[in-house]
Structure 1
């Protein structure tokens, strides 16, 4: 039986300081050298994920933006991508404007990936996000909404208080046209509302990888609500001990928290090559 092992990053493989421990790096790389098929599925971009997973072997494609993209991690070339149609983008933008929300907008503009936002509208949660991405080549502060929503858009993120985001989330979720989440940011007080194309889920992307690499089984690890779709299509799935209660309901078992190398310890004990 050929097994694909897939882990979430933040709160699962990454420690609370946004690093992968030397123990986890050595464990995973050693098993990959012996033939283990291992990858990650994250809400992060490839740019951000590559920074925090430096030193970790990535010999097969990785999943970014919650399944909107699959990348060759070594070359950065997208192998699979999903974008909003112009009509879908217009619908989302009209709702954002009606609720007076200014999102982070992820798009490709003339072939270049951009992370755009309206300069001057940032709250503390936005500043926290930007501080962690200093030097990121995607960063694109703009001064007007035309530039904010330029290019081919594939992801919207609003950061703020739950009470401000909840009405927008309920409207966008009720449409049934998109994949969307509203959850509290890991290690922070702010909430994130994220909107993606309908087929942009970790589950859909993992199934593509499963077919591409001719795997028979999926074993996954996660901590948050955006991991539920991944757990539902896995043959085995494990949540870290501090995972969201809703995710634990779908888990076959629990593993130690990220700061205790739960994923690596499980792999070391259970993977036989």
Structure 2
């Protein structure tokens, strides 16, 4: 029976320096070469995920934007995607009425982009955008109308907790929402996606597409709970949130100890050797 292994990135496969280590790269690449089916599921885009995993050779599609999309590992083109419909405009109206101006991710004319109003950026948004300098997706706009361009699939709000919490409570049942403090900046984030978008649904789609019979996953945060619940086996790294450990099959080494790669080296080698190539 073929097994698909899927790992979260930040706080899980990545060390605290936001990179995969040389050991992790060598181990995963060797096992992939032996036939292991390995991917990752991240809130990051394809572009930023590839930067922080430089040296890692994942040879199958990648789950990005918290499961809103599955991207081809070679060029980042979307293989599976979840878009908002007319409700995107309603969400923007309600966010703006609350004084929240999000980063809006969309596809327009075949171009993937994130739009924002520079004059309305919070400190947290400016810090985020600073890490995306020279990103070809960046689309600063001058008006609220142009903030709505394209087919929208993701909203990122970085603002005060007191402003974002009521919005999270409003939307959490209607859409797929992630409400958490950023691992690195400690800023409060609210991310809003179509209801069908999740790491779990994307991983199950990929599992089916690859003809796999089992799904084994790794994670660290509360936003990985749905992925854990969809998997046959789920392992939380030692630095994971308690809520995730509570639904895990087991707890493995921490991210800064290369816990995922060490577990794979110890447990996935035989499976990789018997599965053959992708």
Over aligned residues, Cα RMSD in angstroms?
Answer: 1.1
**What pairs up with 1:119-158 in 2 under 5 angstroms?**
119-158=118-157
Rounded to whole Å, the distance in 2 between the matches of 1:97 and 1:130 is: 20
Instruction: Give the distance between the partners of 2:29 and 2:127, measured in 1 at CA.
Output: 31
Which residue number in structure 2 is paired with residue 103 of structure 1? 102
d(CA) in 2 for partners of 1:269 and 1:62?
23
Offset, 1:70: 0.8
Does residue 204 of the first structure (1) align with residue 183 of the second (2)?
Answer: no
Give the Cα separation in 2 of the matches to 1:126 and 1:93: 17
Match of 2:42 in 1: 42
| 2:207–2:213 contact (8 Å) kept in structure 1 | yes
Aligned to 1:77: 77
* Aligned equivalent of 2:227: 230
Instruction: State the partner residue of 2:276.
Output: none
1:162-241 equivalent positions in 2, closer than 5 A = 162-173=161-172, 176-241=173-238
Partner deviation per Cα, 1:95-154 (whole Å, 9 max, x = no partner): 102211000000012211111111122222112211222221111111110111111100
Equivalenced residues, count: 270
Q: Which has the higher contact order (CA 8 A, sep 6+)?
A: 2
> What residue number does 1:24 align with?
24
Matches within 5 A, 1:106-117: 106-117=105-116
How far is the alpha carbon of 1:187 from its aligned partner?
2.5
Deviation beyond 2 Å, 4+ runs, structure 1: none
TM normalised by structure 1 equals: 0.96
What is the TM-score normalised by the length of structure 2? 0.94
CA distance in 2, matches of 1:199, 1:152: 16
Aligned to 1:253: 250
For structure 2, the 5+ residue unaligned runs are 274-278
